[in-house]
Structure formats: structure tokens, C-alpha cells
């Protein structure tokens, strides 16, 4: 397998060069001490090999300390108090919003809405924008690559307003079929929702081109950035998508907080989804006047500690050159493909490594992914097994489930070699177990 020299243009369509401030070289060993679980042993003599970052990434000490500092020294509510602790909390909370805006290339931090995660962000668009602007007969384009969080909200919306769902096919090797996408586009299409990176196959759709084509027919584009934002150097000004959703916990931040980026004109036009405190300017007995964006979408007490932790995660990631991190994950993905393809009975799913991000899903002949994950755990290797909240994609591949490894900045080539060894051990254990069952049958 020969690596093409033009990897970045092929794999990262729709993103722009990094704005990172670090060195162009990256060594994962220099950051591993920042992540506490990597120094643990699951059992005596069995160190942790964490290959499940697509589900949730590990958290570095600077993020943990930022959250602890808020909880210990200024655990006040935001926006509502005039005392010192509340003012400090508000300043840290809104600074986190500014950091996120810079991280994704948004010129206006008011276009960054804090939510509880990618799922809530997409549901917010579906219910606030979709129920306001879509009507019966309007068409919504999705793809078979999508996570359930970018399918189910649109199914619910379609049932509510009478819209029609259409799905873009994928190619035989697991990439989005752009020809199928162009065939689906028409003047009836009002919204396109697409992943920035498949959470199963690592496929990276040509989002920039998809946005451009969608805007030609007057459609709004929602990008599920749960997997792409943590790993690809996204710039929303260049991408030009109308909405972008992502979560903190997949980018070295805490759980419970996420982001909806939206172009200001859309956020201004959308009604709030939830009513309550902070999202209003005035309330009388018969009516209310909404707060400005983004606060009109942030009813109630927000996830303050978590948002501050997200800001710390952005600080942590921005010390590195994003292209260098991408090159590191590319190296891991290439090594995983080569190593797994040399294991008898292993089928690697999805496109070639230069056409995907740091996610590699596979199956092992005769071994259910759930059994494989449990056997690998005995060797200290943490992977994901199941349908990964992408059942339509697995149905397309004629698989009930798959095993998935996913990488982040703290992973090493040596960990992939441990994974391969653990798979060989698991295969021997399973063959022995099957042989015992056959003898007693």
C-alpha cells in the first residue's frame, strides 16, 4: 500500500490549513503524562491501551484542574449576580465561548450556542429552525453514513411538518457517493444534514462541495462535527455551512456540554426551543421578549463547569499544530490498516486510510464484536463494539455490528501492535472455547 503525497487535499475536503501555534512535529509521548488513565494498570501487569476516543476522549490535567478550580474557588451562577464570584464565573464562561469561536474560525462569538452536546444541538436546529421554516413536501437530504443523532431528529421533524427524507448512498468502499448527492438535489430540498466524519468508517465527505451545491438550490446545511471538529482544522468561514454541531467530550473536554454554531441570521430568525430564566429580556403575564443570541437558546442554569472545561480543552489543543496532529493520526490509521489486514480472518471496513480520519472499524470471522471487545479488555485494550448508533450504515454493510478502534493525540504505534497481539490471543481463546463446545455437543 503506497501512501499518496497529496493526502490533505483528498482527505480533508472542506477544511483549511491549521491556525495552530505549535511545532510542525508532534510526539505523542510528550503528552501521555497529561492523561491520568494512561498511567494506570487495569489489572496487575496489564496497562490501559485506550482506543475508544471516538466515543469519548480522555481528559488532560489542565481540563481537570480548570473544572476543579471553578468548583472549589468560584462556584457561582453566571449572568445573574453582581458579586465577585458570579462576575468571575461569568467572565470564565463567556471566555470559553470566545475560545470556541476562535477554534472553529467564527468571527462572532455570539454565533456559538452552548448545549449539552451534539445531539441537543442538532435537535435544536430541527425543532427551532425546522418547525419554523419547513413545510409539507419540503425535502431533507441525509446520508447513510449518519449517526442516529443526525437521523432521528430529522425523522421526527419530517413527521411533524410533512417533510420528505431522502438518503444519499455510499460507495462500495464506504465513502459518500457525491453523484448520488447531486442526483438528490432539487429546488424542493430545503435542508441537507451531513456528518463531517463517519463515526463508524472514518469517511470524510466532501462537505465544502456539498455546502456549495446545497446553497445553489437554496438549502440550509447542518454539519454533524462530533468526529471532525476534534481532529480536522475546521474553519466555519471557509466551510460556509449554516450550522455546525459538536461535543466537548470528544475533544479532550468534559461530558455534558456541546456547541451549536449557527450563522447569525439563522439564529436571529429562529425562535427559542426552551423557555425559562436567562433567555428573556422581559416577561409580563401575557408575553415575553427574548434575549439576544446566543443567550435566547440557553434557558436555565447552563453547564458552567463543563463550559469552562471546554475552554481549557481548546487551550490545550491549540498549543499544538493541527496539521501535525492530523499527520500523527494519519500515521496511526495507516499502521492500523496494514497491521489488521495481515491478521487472518480480519476484514477492515471502509475506505483506504488516505480517505478517512483516525477511525478503523473491522470484523473478525467467527467472533462477534461484543465477544471480541470483552476478550480484548482482558489484555487491557479498550475498543468499541456494536452498531455505534449507526444501524442504517450497518444494514447497508450487511453486518449486525462491528468492532471499532479510534485514535487521538495520545495514542502510539506500539498500542496498535498491542491491539493486534490481543486480537490473536482472542482468536485462540475463542477457537479453544468453540472446540470445547463441539466436544460436549
- What is the set of active-site residues? 389
**Residue 93 to residues 127, 233, 306, 395: CA-CA distances in angstroms?**
26, 24, 9, 42
Angle, CA of 147, 152 and 154, to the nearest 5°: 110
Beta strands in 41-93 (DSSP E): 41-43, 46-47, 49-50
Q: H-helix or E-strand containing 377?
A: helix 369-378
Residue 142: phi, psi to the nearest 5? -120, 180
Cα–Cα distance, 289 to 280 (Å, whole number): 6
C-alpha cell at 157: 421533524
8 A C-beta contact, residue 292 and residue 110: yes
Residue 264: partners with Cβ closer than 8 Å, 6 or more residues away: 108, 110, 111, 293
Residue 50: phi, psi to the nearest 5? -95, 110
**Residue 118 to residues 21, 72, 216, 230, 424: CA-CA distances in angstroms?**
27, 28, 27, 12, 36
Count other C-beta atoms under 10 Å from residue 289's C-beta.
Answer: 10
Angle, CA of 396, 402 and 405, to the nearest 5°: 125
Looking at residue 130, what DSSP letter applies? I
* Cα dihedral sign, 102-107-108-114: negative
8 A C-beta contact, residue 239 and residue 14: yes
Q: Which residue has the cell 480484548?
A: 376
Cα–Cα distance, 86 to 198 (Å, whole number): 40
Beta strands in 33-74 (DSSP E): 41-43, 46-47, 49-50
Q: H-helix or E-strand containing 11?
A: helix 7-11
Of 160, 176, 267, whose CA–CA distance to 213 is shortest?
176
Q: Give the relative orientation of helices 413-440 and 322-341 as an angle to the nearest 10 degrees.
A: 30
Cα–Cα distance, 213 to 223 (Å, whole number): 14
Amino acid at each position: 500500500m503506497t501512501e499518496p503525497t497529496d493526502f490533505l487535499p483528498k482527505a480533508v475536503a472542506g477544511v483549511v490549513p491549521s491556525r495552530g501555534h505549535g511545532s510542525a512535529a508532534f510526539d505523542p509521548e510528550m503528552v501521555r503524562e497529561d492523561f491520568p488513565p494512561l498511567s494506570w494498570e487495569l489489572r496487575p501487569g496489564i496497562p490501559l491501551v485506550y482506543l475508544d476516543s471516538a466515543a469519548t476522549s480522555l481528559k488532560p490535567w489542565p481540563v481537570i484542574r480548570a473544572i476543579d478550580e471553578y468548583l472549589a474557588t468560584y462556584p457561582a451562577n453566571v449572568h445573574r449576580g453582581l458579586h465577585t464570584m458570579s462576575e468571575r464565573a461569568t467572565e470564565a464562561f463567556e471566555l470559553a465561548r470566545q475560545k470556541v469561536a476562535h477554534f472553529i474560525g467564527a468571527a462572532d462569538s455570539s454565533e456559538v450556542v452552548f448545549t449539552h452536546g451534539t445531539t441537543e444541538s442538532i435537535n435544536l436546529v430541527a425543532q427551532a429552525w425546522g418547525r419554523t421554516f419547513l413545510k409539507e413536501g419540503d425535502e431533507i437530504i441525509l446520508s447513510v453514513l449518519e449517526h442516529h443523532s443526525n437521523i432521528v431528529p430529522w425523522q421526527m421533524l419530517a413527521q411533524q411538518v410533512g417533510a420528505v427524507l431522502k438518503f444519499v448512498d455510499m460507495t462500495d468502499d464506504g465513502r459518500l457517493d457525491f453523484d448520488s448527492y447531486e442526483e438528490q438535489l432539487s429546488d424542493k430540498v430545503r435542508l441537507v444534514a451531513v456528518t463531517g466524519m463517519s463515526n463508524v468508517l472514518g469517511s470524510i465527505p466532501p462537505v465544502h462541495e456539498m455546502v456549495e451545491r446545497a446553497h445553489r438550490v437554496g438549502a440550509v446545511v447542518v454539519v454533524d462535527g462530533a468526529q471532525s471538529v476534534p481532529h480536522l482544522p475546521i474553519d466555519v468561514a471557509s466551510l460556509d455551512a449554516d450550522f455546525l454541531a459538536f461535543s466537548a467530550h470528544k475533544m479532550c473536554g468534559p461530558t455534558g456540554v456541546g456547541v451549536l454554531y449557527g450563522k447569525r441570521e439563522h439564529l436571529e430568525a429562529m425562535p427559542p426551543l426552551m423557555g425559562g430564566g436567562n433567555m428573556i429580556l422581559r416577561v409580563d403575564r401575557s408575553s415575553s421578549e427574548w434575549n439576544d443570541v446566543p443567550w435566547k437558546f440557553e434557558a436555565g442554569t447552563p453547564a458552567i463547569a463543563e463550559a469552562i472545561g471546554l475552554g481549557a480543552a481548546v487551550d490545550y489543543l491549540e498549543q499544538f499544530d493541527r496539521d501535525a496532529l492530523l499527520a500523527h493520526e494519519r500515521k496511526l490509521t495507516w499502521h492500523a490498516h496494514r497491521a489488521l489486514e495481515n491478521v487472518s480472518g480480519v476484514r477492515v471496513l471502509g475506505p483506504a486510510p488516505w480517505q478517512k480520519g483516525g477511525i478503523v472499524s473491522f470484523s473478525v470471522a467467527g467472533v462477534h464484536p461484543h465477544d471480541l471487545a470483552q476478550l480484548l479488555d482482558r489484555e487491557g485494550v479498550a475498543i468499541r463494539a456494536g452498531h455505534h448508533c449507526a444501524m442504517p450504515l450497518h444494514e447497508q454493510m450487511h453486518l449486525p455490528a462491528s468492532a471499532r478502534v479510534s485514535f487521538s493525540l495520545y495514542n502510539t504505534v506500539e498500542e496498535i501492535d498491542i491491539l493486534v497481539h490481543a486480537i490473536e490471543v482472542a482468536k485462540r481463546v475463542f477457537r479453544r472455547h468453540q472446540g470445547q463446545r463441539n466436544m460436549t455437543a
